[in-house]
């Protein structure tokens, strides 16, 4: 498969993840009387990944997330020469999705970017008021686990055809745990899209949502490779 086709797949996969996930948060989470709440948003993120893993995963590997690309690279599952192109196109996909979401949300007279636009944050910008330390820990640990699950679900010994389901449910659980802490990132591209539109505090805190997921992703890839991905003798 050509790199161009892989990058196109990553663009559409990341676009869908960000539009579907953050879109559910911005448009539907608090809808009067019928809002889907944190639980609905968590399932929306999981479903976006689940559907796109099956739709374009066979083409690009279904990363849709710089932390996943870094983690799979660290785990020996992804070539370093494709790392930068993947990350760039993932960020482009996230920004495009945020742009479309902004156009849709702006059609409501009550919409304000100051409400957060589903951006990730800590301290006073954490949904539950959690500190930077709490945010760092939860983002590193949950990204570590996410990559660990991805590595295991796509291992040659894993049941064939179930990786998308496992990965999607894992992302759902991750959101159920951490939306109150950081609005859940575990994905630097997902964090970058909304932050560029919100500006100000969201951009000043964006560094954390790059550093923590990438650290967690790399540690997850290295750990799985060290303990479970050894060559059989």
pLDDT for position 32: 66
For residues 88-100, give the mean pLDDT.
98
pLDDT for position 140: 98
Could you read off the pLDDT of 137-181 as tens digits, one per residue?
Answer: 999 999 999 999 999 999 988 888 999 999 999 999 999 999 999
Q: Is the pLDDT of residue 44 over 60?
A: yes
pLDDT for position 33: 67
Q: Mean pLDDT in the chain?
A: 95
Q: What predicted TM-score, i.e. pTM, was given to this entire model?
A: 0.95
pLDDT for position 233: 41
Rounded Cα–Cα distance for residues 75 and 89 (Å): 21
Q: Is the pLDDT of residue 232 over 70?
A: no
Could you read off the pLDDT of 114-142 as tens digits, one per residue?
Answer: 999 999 999 999 999 999 999 999 999 99
Q: Is the pLDDT of residue 69 over 90?
A: yes
Q: Report in angstroms the alpha-carbon separations of 1 from 5, 59, 151.
A: 7, 7, 21
Q: How confident is the model at residue 212 (pLDDT cuts 50, 70, 90)?
A: very high
**Cβ proximity of 40 and 24 under 8 Å:** yes
Q: How confident is the model at residue 231 (pLDDT cuts 50, 70, 90)?
A: low
* Domains of the chain, each with CATH number or no CATH: 3-228 (1.20.1080.10)
* Residues counted in the chain: 233
Rounded Cα–Cα distance for residues 121 and 181 (Å): 8
Rounded Cα–Cα distance for residues 185 and 193 (Å): 11
């Amino acid at each position: 498969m050509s790199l161009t086709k892989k990058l196109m797949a990553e663009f559409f996969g990341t676009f869908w993840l960000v539009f579907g996930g953050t879109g559910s948060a911005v448009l539907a989470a608090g809808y009067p009387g019928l809002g889907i709440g944190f639980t609905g948003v968590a399932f929306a993120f999981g479903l976006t990944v689940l559907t796109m893993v099956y739709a374009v995963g066979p083409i690009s590997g279904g990363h849709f997330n710089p932390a996943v690309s870094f983690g799979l690279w660290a785990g020996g599952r992804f070539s370093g020469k494709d790392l930068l192109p993947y990350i760039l196109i993932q960020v482009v996909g996230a920004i495009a999705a945020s742009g479309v979401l902004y156009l849709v949300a702006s059609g409501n007279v009550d919409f304000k970017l100051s409400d957060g636009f589903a951006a990730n944050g800590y301290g006073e910008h954490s949904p539950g008021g959690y500190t930077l330390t709490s945010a760092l820990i939860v983002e590193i640990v949950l990204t570590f686990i996410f990559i660990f699950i991805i590595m295991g679900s796509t291992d040659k010994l894993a049941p064939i055809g179930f990786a998308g389901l496992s990965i999607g449910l894992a992302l759902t659980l991750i959101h159920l745990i951490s939306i109150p802490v950081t609005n859940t990132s575990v994905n630097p591209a997902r964090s970058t899209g909304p932050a560029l539109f919100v500006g100000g505090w969201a951009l000043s805190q964006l560094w954390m949502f790059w550093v923590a997921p990438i650290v967690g992703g790399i540690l997850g890839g290295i750990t799985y490779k060290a303990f479970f991905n050894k060559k059989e003798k």
